[in-house]
Chain A
Amino acid sequence: MDKRGMVFEVRIHGRGGQGVVSAAELLADAAFREGRHAQAFPSFGSERTGAPVVAFCRISDREIRLREPVMHPDALIIQDPTLLHQVDLFSGVPPGAYILINSTLGFADLGLGDFIKDFDPRRLCTVPATDLALRHVGRPVPNVPLLGGFAAISGMMHLASVISAIRDKFPPKVAAANIAAASEAFDGVIKSLALESFHA
């Protein structure tokens, strides 16, 4: 799975109200549906709307015993790009990591051109997650579309598993809207990956 075939670690950054903890839980649930072990947990701050929030998810084929926060993530999901200037989002992120950012801009336009020069471009993507959420769900909750994007770029899980986790978490109408948003994000990332390999 990862370099040691052991544990794949995800760190999700966002703000209170954006569904950061729910995103980690959905990710763990999707992995569970594929028969894997998964552990999701919040960073345990006092939860206030708008405050920076971090949640973690580990996925493995074996029981996960480790309880430390994820310090060297294999994937980083940034739900709120305004955090780029406030929190040390990239702490401990190795160049091999996947990075997803909720933005309509590219990495260079976000001022991250220098930072990502050692990263694998096939593992980096921005997803217009807030736009997708507003259009499908009617609320600016970027968490679920980003999970669709994560499934696409990482290949860590099938979109179907993410969808089935969403379906069990929300009431039917909200679930359907989120599934549409996640699916569109998934397709968008798959398309941009195909374009990139075409250009390469």
Chain B
Amino acid sequence: MLKQIEGSRAVAEAVALCRPEVICAYPISPQTHIVEALGAMVKGGELQDCEFVNVESEFAAMSVAIGASATGARAYTATASQGLLFMAEAVYNAAGLGLPIVMTIANRAIGAPINIWNDHSDAMALRDAGWLQLFAETNQEAIDLHIQAFRLAEELSLPVMVCMDGFILTHAFERVDIPTQKQVDAFLPTYAPRQMLDPAEPVSIGAMVGPEAFSEVRYLAHAKQLQALSLIPEFAAEFAEIFGRDSGGLVRSYRCEGAETIVVAMGSVLGTIKDVVDEMRDLGVSIGALAIKAFRPFPLTEIRAALQEAKRVVILEKSLAVGIGGILSTNVRMALSHLNIHGYTVIAGLGGRAITKASLHRLFAEAHAERLEHLTFLDLDQGLVERVLERERSMRRSGPIAESILRDLGVVAARL
């Protein structure tokens, strides 16, 4: 059913259609509206046979999800930013134990400086925790990925993060098609756990494993993620049959036929990128875009196949590996080993800085003309940076950077 609703509300409705049995939640922006809506649905009786557990922290949220999942319940939670970091130890445990929890990450920057706005630093910080990570481009895809995520998680017995851009998607009020319960039930079977704590057949979960088998257990975690490389497209195809639309998958190309320049990105910025690609194509520039939908497992083969005919690749990412540059780009470049393709890393949209069409036009034109540096920070205010560096050169007690940069800018409150 078509509805004009907030992204968070849409995700809550989709999660409810997946018949979760335990939802644990601790509020943190920009994720809060999702669990608030789910809490109201449980309380109001719309979502039945589900226990909603208010917890005292994100660490507790993931711990409750682990406990619930270990008893064979379908478990869901959501978080963002510092919340994800605070639960980090339990996040690794959920994956290591092979518990198919689904968690929404409403992607948000990580402090300090404290910042509530969007980028991908949170998901990237835990990219190697063993969870699958799927990235939504639109609210429609966010809904659809949640439904696919439960199926994937339970089939593989691995947890899945569905990443959606905080505020940009979670707080956007737009048209979405909310599936019917019948469609979701046809796609998502009842959860049949591979392992569960059951008094009738007692087992323990969480053995200590020494050097004799630790590598093998870890290898199996890797092998299961590799299985996901075939399951993700398989389930996306099945999803398309039942729901009548393409959503998810590993990667998706946009106007890449014969493209000399291909822009690679994840998440909602692809919408703006596609608009710019269309406008540049109209001007005769041979440019296309590649959306990476699954970041873990990382689809090396599919990315290589999608990019190998290009002359140059611009990897635009909302994360920064301080001290080296890109994270997504490091991964993409691995897919391009031994290919003679110029790779450009662009760090953009950190802490919610708007990524505009105007900036992308300039950026892509420079890349297309091979005038781009190999590492670029989109719309960086170089003058502002220089003032701080100069102050640090000229005096010892130059003070805290965040405060002094705001003073230089003359702002008392954040702006885009």
Contacts and interface: CB of A to CB of B under 8 A. Distances in A.
Interface string A26-41: 0011001100011111
Contacts of B116: 44, 46
Interface residues of B, number: 29
A39 B269 CA distance: 15
B271 A67 contact: yes
B356 interface: yes
B414 interface: yes
A104 interface: no
Interface in B2-33: 2, 4, 6
16 contacts: A25-B6, A29-B4, A32-B2, A33-B4, A38-B4, A39-B174, A40-B173, A44-B171, A44-B416, A64-B271, A65-B270, A65-B272, A65-B275, A69-B354, A69-B356, A69-B416
Given A32-B2, A38-B4, A45-B414, 8 more contacts: A33-B4, A38-B174, A42-B171, A44-B171, A64-B271, A65-B272, A65-B275, A66-B271
Contacts of A65: 138, 270-272, 274-275
Size range of the chain A interface in the assembly: 20 to 34
B416 A41 contact: no
A67 B174 contact: no
A43 B416 contact: yes
Contacts of A40: 172-174
Interface centre among B272, B275, B357 (most CB of A within 10 A): B275
Nearest to B29: A46
A64 B174 contact: yes
Interface centre among B4, B138, B354 (most CB of A within 10 A): B4
B168 interface: yes
B167 interface: yes
A68 interface: yes
Given A28-B173, A32-B175, A67 B168 contact: yes
A24 B171 CA distance: 12
B341 interface: no
A37 B356 CA distance: 21
Interface in A51-84: 51, 64-69, 71
Interface string B390-416: 000000000000000000000001111
Contacts of A66: 271-272, 275, 357
Given A43-B416, A44-B352, A67 B272 contact: yes
Given A41-B168, A44-B167, A46-B414, A67 B173 contact: no
Nearest to B357: A68
B134 to A, nearest CB: 19
Contacts of A67: 168, 172, 268-269, 271-272, 355
Contacts of A29: 4, 173
Contacts of A38: 4, 174-175
Contacts of B52: none
Nearest to A71: B356
A39 B414 contact: no
B271 A28 contact: no
B173 A25 contact: yes
